Amino acid sequence: MRLLLVEEDPKVRSLIRHHVSCRWPEAQIRSHPPGVRGPLPVEFLAQGYDAVLLSSLRDGQGLVWLHELVSRPGFAPVIFLTDSDEQALRSRAAEAGACGVVCRDRIDHAQLIELLQQARSEHRRALADWRVSAEAQESHRFGDARIPGYRRARLLARGSVSQLYVAESEKVGALVALKVTPSRRDETGVDQALARFIQEYEIAQRVRHANIVRLYELGVADDHAYLAMEYFHHGDLRRRMRAGLSASEALAFAAQIANALGALHEEGILHRDLKPGNVMLRINEQVALIDFGLAKHEALEFEVTDAGLIFGTPHYMSPEQGHGQELDARSDLYSLGVVLFEMLTGQKPYSADNPMAIIYMHRNAPLPPLPEPLAELQPLLDRMLAKRPEDRFPDAAETAEAIETARTAWLVNATAARA
């Protein structure tokens, strides 16, 4: 039994879990508190669940949610949880499409179990019929590859090699980002795309950290490699930057990124492509690093970048990275300094008409000063963006500590200025 429980009150969630686990001890119940997580994404059909239990919520919003969810073709059965046994509310819920109604304050155990059994049976029959339809076959199509277990929602981005889709995973029970690329061997007999996928998957599996993307599955289908990973409904840091950041928010994000880099570096991994587009945002503005396709692991025998080539994004490259020199953790920390400068000012520290000019400026041009209102943060940026690695902070832990110290001082001074 797999259930999605849309309920704000933790006591009610605990009570539902108790009733369900008495009948199905191994039941999987995923909670979705609306006040924290917001609405269910419009592409989501809850097909990996046997039923959805939906609370009446506040101000009648439960019925609004119910109308919207059951209007989605193929959505899982919904059992509505009311605040009372009021017949009018039960009738409205049934008319809106609920497959059953339960009073959450006085749960009838036998009734709840019977409704869940009926919902599961109906849903599984509906899914069995749907899976043999032409619509279902098409929904598993991602470009030229058919990938069972994933329902295509939409194309998110198309690159020169890979395509990125939003898909619903029945196994995960959530929307995922699905990266798909053709499996092709080069003249050496090595499949570069698959090698990068394997590396990205192994890094994310090895480094378990709150600020690292969660990866779910690596696979091959129809001569294509695919990678299923966490989908970030709130987008990336660049999108957040466009909405505007205070200095305190920018420093808080930078500290989180430093902690994520520290987790990577402790495992002997360099990211090598840190930029706002590779920093995603979860709920409550928790960041998660993604895209380890250019990362370097000291223990890997296979180098996924060709020797002699400069890789990364010029605007965010350290001087040593831009000149193809040996790198260590301090290169990633320089890139973090560039990201922090951009969060604070809305501008990149160096801009030019061509990439090589930007690379030259990172090595030779002085750092542009911060605007006067941000002047107290200049020593921090000067240290993070020092031209020579030995003049920067030695590691991510000290970088994070310095950022947090600067943020605390900034907040204290801001409070004093307002007083």
3-class SS letters over the chain? CEEEEECCCHHHHHHHHHHHHHHCCCCEEEECCHHHHCCCCCCCCCCCCCEEEEECCCCCHHHHHHHHHHCCCCCCCEEEEECCCCHHHHHHHHHHCCCEEEECCCCCHHHHHHHHHHHHHHHHHHHHHHHCCHHHHHHCEECCEECCCEEEEEEEEECCCCEEEEEEECCCCEEEEEEEEECCCCCCCCCHHHHHHHHHHHHHHHCCCCCECCEEEEEEECCEEEEEEECCCCCEHHHHHHCCCCHHHHHHHHHHHHHHHHHHHHCCEECCCCCHHHEEECHHHCEEECCCCCCEECCCCCCCCCCCCCCCCHHHCCHHHHCCCCCCHHHHHHHHHHHHHHHHHCCCCCCCCCHHHHHHHHHHCCCCCCCHHHHHHHHHHHHHCCCCHHHCCCCHHHHHHHHHHHHHHHHHHHHHHHC
Which position among 273, 291, 332, 395 bears the catalytic label?
273
CA–CA gap between residue 215 and residue 227 (Å, rounded):
8
CA–CA gap between residue 159 and residue 39 (Å, rounded):
30
Residue that has been written with the tokens 């990996």 in this structure: 48
CA–CA gap between residue 380 and residue 398 (Å, rounded):
12
Nearest to 314 by CA among 371, 284, 353, 283: 353
Annotation marks residue 306 as catalytic = no
- The values of phi and psi at residue 309, to 5°, are -95, 145
For residue 305, the one-letter residue type is T
Q: Please name every residue paired with 226 in a beta bridge, in sequence order, or none if there are none.
A: 180, 219
Residue that has been written with the tokens 């709920």 in this structure: 283
Residue that has been written with the tokens 């020579």 in this structure: 388
Q: Which residues are catalytic?
A: 273
